[in-house]
């Protein structure tokens, strides 16, 4: 094993530790909420006419989501090892994707908490050009986003919203981006060809 490379057994342990950490974190947050005014519920799109989800559901959803997304990460790492991609660089990309999405989720939560809804809206719109440039549809980005928003919105709403963002980002990166690249390369090739 190369230095810095995480093997499958180590990754499985990281998966267990991280899921346990998330489990403890969400239940500590729920306990704190329970003893400080009660566990809140959040309405979809902050509309009282739409259904609400209690933060209690996050105690189940968040650990299961973490366990599942780490499974997806492990499968992707194994697939890339078969294609001889540099696994150390790939693990760094996973870390950076997670941290970036974590900060994005925290920043979005802060904007909503302090009623800067315009800034929150602009931040959400920023996702679309980012999705054309970076693969933000991946598991680590969803996990970071959900964890970053959990303190403010619980575990269920960020999971649902993050899944929608994930689907839109996948379409933009996997379908729209190649079309732009193809058109741009064709234009450059035609423009640079001798007449």
Residue 1 lies in a domain: no
Residue 2 lies in a domain: no
Residue 3 lies in a domain: no
What are the tens digits of pLDDT across the range 141-161? Answer: 999 999 999 999 989 999 999
Residue 117 lies in a domain: yes
Q: What is the mean pLDDT of residues 22-49?
A: 89
Residue 169 pLDDT greater than 90, yes or no: yes
The stretches of 154-176 forming alpha helices (DSSP H) are: 156-171
Alpha-carbon distance 159 to 165, whole Å?
Answer: 10
Q: Residue 88's pLDDT is what?
A: 65
Q: What's the predicted TM-score (pTM) here?
A: 0.88
Beta carbons within 10 angstroms of residue 178's beta carbon: 10
Alpha-carbon distance 64 to 156, whole Å?
Answer: 11
Q: Residue 24's pLDDT is what?
A: 96
Residue 181 pLDDT greater than 70, yes or no: yes
Task: Please report, for residues 66, 119, 158, 176, the alpha-carbon distance to residue 15 in angstroms, rounded to integers and kept in the order given.
Answer: 8, 34, 21, 33
pLDDT top residue among 138 and 79: 138
Please name every residue paired with 43 in a beta bridge, in sequence order, or none if there are none: 52
Q: Residue 1's pLDDT is what?
A: 43
pLDDT top residue among 81 and 68: 68
Number of structural domains, the chain? 1
Residue 89 lies in a domain: yes
Residue 21 lies in a domain: yes
Domain that holds residue 60: 8-192
Q: Residue 50's pLDDT is what?
A: 82
What are the tens digits of pLDDT across the range 52-75? Answer: 888 899 999 999 999 999 999 988
């Amino acid at each position: 094993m190369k230095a810095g490379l995480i093997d499958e057994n180590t990754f499985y342990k990281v998966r267990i530790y991280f899921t346990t950490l998330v489990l403890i974190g969400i239940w500590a947050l729920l306990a704190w909420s329970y003893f400080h005014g009660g566990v809140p519920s959040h309405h979809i799109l902050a509309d009282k006419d739409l259904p609400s989800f209690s933060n209690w559901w996050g105690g189940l959803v968040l650990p299961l989501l973490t366990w599942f997304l780490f499974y997806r990460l492990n499968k992707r790492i194994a697939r890339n090892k078969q294609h001889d991609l540099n696994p150390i660089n790939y693990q760094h990309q996973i870390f950076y994707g997670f941290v970036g999405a974590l900060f994005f989720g925290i920043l979005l939560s802060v904007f909503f908490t302090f009623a800067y809804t315009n800034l929150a809206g602009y931040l959400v719109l920023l996702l679309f050009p980012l999705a054309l440039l970076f693969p933000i549809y991946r598991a680590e980005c969803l996990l970071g986003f959900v964890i970053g928003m959990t303190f403010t919105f619980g575990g269920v709403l960020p999971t649902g919203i993050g899944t929608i963002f994930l689907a839109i980002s996948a379409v933009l990166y996997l379908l729209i981006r190649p079309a732009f690249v193809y058109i741009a390369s064709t234009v450059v090739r035609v423009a640079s060809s001798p007449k």
